[in-house]
A = this chain, B = another copy of it.
Amino acid sequence: MDKMKELIKQNGSYLGGGILKVDSFINHQVDPFFMRDCGEEFARLFNHVKPTRILTAETSGVAPALMTGLALDIPVVYARKSKPVTMPDQVYLTIAPSHTKGVSVELIVSPEYLQNGERVLIIDDFLASGATIKGLVRLIQAAGATLVGIGALIEKDFEGGRELLEPLGVPIESLACITKLDENGIILKDA
C-alpha cells in the first residue's frame, strides 16, 4: 500500500532498539480517512477467507480493526490487557511479551464474544516478533473458533513474526514491510 510506505518514509522515525515510531499516524494520533483506506485494503485482501469476526488487541489495534470491520460489515472484538469489572470471572487469558512496553502483558477476551464456529480475522498495528498475534491465536483456539487470516499495518520482516505464524496455514498480509531498520534509515520492501 503506497500511502503507508510514504507515511513511514516521511513520518516514521527509528528510536533504536528495533523500535519504529509511528505515533503521528498510528499509535497516538490517527488520520481517520487514511485508517479507513487501510481497513478497505484489508477487506480486499481477506474477503475471500469469509471472516465473521475481527479480533485485535487494545489499544493500537482498535483503529485498523474497526475500519476493517466497517469494510467487511462484521463485529470487532478487542482483547483487553487488564480485566475490567464488567467482564465475567471466567475469561480466556493468555500472556504475551510486549516489545514497545518492555514487559509481558495479559490478553483477555470474554467467552461471550469469541465463540465456537466463528471465523476470526486478526488485525493489528504491527507484525514484529509475532508474540502478540500468537497470543491472540491462542485465545481463538481456546474459544474453539477458527483463525482465517492475519493482517498488520506494518511488518518488520527481520523480527521473525511471519516465520512464527506461517505454520498456522492462513494468509498473512501487511500493508508495508520493513526489511531493515537502523540508524542509517528505514528500508521498505518494494518501495
Task: Determine the chain B residues whose CB is within 8 A of the CB of A32 once the complex forms.
Answer: 66-67, 69-70, 73-76
User: A76's contact among B17, B29, B80, B86, by CB below 8 Å, is which?
Assistant: B29
Are the C-beta atoms of A80 and B113 separated by less than 8 Å?
no
Query: In the complex, A21→B110 CA distance in Å?
Result: 13
Task: Determine the chain B residues whose CB is within 8 A of the CB of A21 once the complex forms.
Answer: 86
Task: Determine the chain B residues whose CB is within 8 A of the CB of A113 once the complex forms.
Answer: 23-24, 28-29
User: A30's contact among B19, B76, B102, by CB below 8 Å, is which?
Assistant: B76
Q: Is A120 an interface residue (CB 8 A)?
A: no
Each complex incorporates copies of this chain amounting to 2
User: A70's contact among B23, B33, B59, by CB below 8 Å, is which?
Assistant: B33
Are the C-beta atoms of B110 and A28 separated by less than 8 Å?
yes
User: A35's contact among B36, B66, B87, B109, by CB below 8 Å, is which?
Assistant: B66
Are the C-beta atoms of A86 and B27 separated by less than 8 Å?
yes
Q: CB within 8 Å of B: which of A31-86?
A: 31-33, 35-36, 58-59, 62-63, 66-67, 69-70, 73-78, 80, 82, 84-86
Are the C-beta atoms of B63 and A110 separated by less than 8 Å?
no
Are the C-beta atoms of B101 and A19 separated by less than 8 Å?
no
Q: A35-B66, A63-B66 known; A30 and B75 CB under 8 Å?
A: yes
